[in-house]
Amino acid sequence: MAQVYHKTSDEIELIRQNCMLVSKTLAYVGSLLRPGITGAIIDQKAEEFIRDHGALPGFKNLYGFPATLCISLNDAVVHGIPSDREFTDTDIVSIDCGVYDNEFFGDAAFTFAFPEVNDDVMDLLSVTNASLYLGIEQAVSGNRIGDVSSAIQQHCERVHGYGIVRELVGHGLGRNLHEGPEVPNFGSRGRGHKILDGLVIAIEPMVNQGRRQVKQSTDGWTIVTRDGKPSAHFEHTIAVIEGKPDILSDHSIIETELKNNEEIKNFSIKS
């Protein structure tokens, strides 16, 4: 089990700065998305953007990963490697980004949809996004990680009938991209690590339209659904401050870009 490190207020602010740069990078990437562009181009632009802001890509070369962004299309859950495949108007694309600066990481993810994505898949995105915030609401001092996990599972699996991926989980974040505690998207209330002030965690529902089972692609990185149905992924990094969750990343600037880019489909959170 990875070590859990509670952060000081100064350390949390450094992580917040990094998470905001991640969010700005995702918004910038969102402004570039259109059918015909490739993940490789988006990845190059993201790396330039991060370096121009004085930080380093947090994922590149970490554990041997070859890119700045994880770009996961359609049935890919996470860890997709950017490629020269052109995006089409029926794709959904999960983009996960990390940065490293001042000895700390930042981490966030968002799933984008192109104009011709059908309503059933848009429902998956809306429900997954909503579950992220339901999980965050439970990240208060005195609760346990299982309270976060249960809230996400209840909404996605039991209310809406989607599949919660078991093999991949959220995590603590700080001087390392992956610290303790693990933050599953399934579990029981009142179980798991106790949440206290100074805890910084990345909460990231990974939700399949169909069955929960996944497998690894032959590239050694990309995780895909076994049944070939789409998967959605949203992620915030949060800190527990004065007993309550404080979201260090910011999806609102990404959502604003959805409204400005007619090549990307806007959607509302579904309760």
Dump pLDDT digits (tens) for 157-172: 999 999 999 999 999 9
Take residue 260 and report the two structure tokens written for it: 């400005």
Q: SS3 for 161?
A: coil
Q: Which two tokens stand for residue 60?
A: 């590149």
Q: Which residues pair with 83 in a beta bridge?
A: none
As given in the structure block, the two tokens for residue 84 are: 């020269």
Q: Residue 87: what are its φ and ψ, rounded to 5°?
A: -70, 145
When pLDDT is cut at 50, 70 and 90, the band that residue 139 belongs to is very high
Estimate the share of the chain in helix, then strand, then coil, as percent rounded to the nearest 5: 30, 25, 40
- Angstrom distances, CA of residue 230 to CA of 77, 115, 265, 267: 8, 16, 16, 17
3 state DSSP class of 200: strand
106: Cβ–Cβ under 8 A, 6 or more apart, which residues? 15, 17, 18, 19, 20, 21, 22, 58, 98, 99, 100, 173, 237, 248, 249
CATH numbers and ranges of domains, the chain: 9-260 (3.90.230.10)
**Three-state secondary-structure class, residue 27:** helix
What does the pLDDT read at residue 2? Answer: 84
Give the three-class secondary structure for 173: coil
What value does the mean pLDDT of the chain take?
A: 96
Query: Tens digits of per-residue pLDDT, 182-204?
Result: 999 999 999 999 999 999 999 99
| Full-model pTM | 0.97
Binned at pLDDT 50, 70 and 90, residue 271 comes out as low
Please answer whether residues 213 and 226 qualify as being in contact, where contact means their C-beta atoms are separated by less than 8 angstroms: yes
Of 86, 83, 109, 87, whose CA–CA distance to 98 is shortest?
109
pLDDT, mean of residues 103-130: 97
Instruction: Estimate the crossing angle of helix 39-52 against helix 9-32, to 10 degrees.
Output: 140
pLDDT band of residue 29 (cuts 50, 70, 90) is very high
pLDDT bracket for residue 21 (50, 70, 90)? very high
Q: Which DSSP letter does residue 164 get?
A: E
pLDDT exceeds cutoff 90 at 267: no
Mean pLDDT in residue range 99-124: 97
Give the number of other Cβ atoms within 10 Å of residue 3's Cβ: 10
Q: Is the predicted pLDDT of residue 250 greater than 80, yes or no?
A: yes
Query: Would you state the torsion angle of the CA atoms of residues 203, 11, 99, 81, taken in this order, to the nearest 10 degrees?
Result: -30
- pLDDT value at position 269? 73
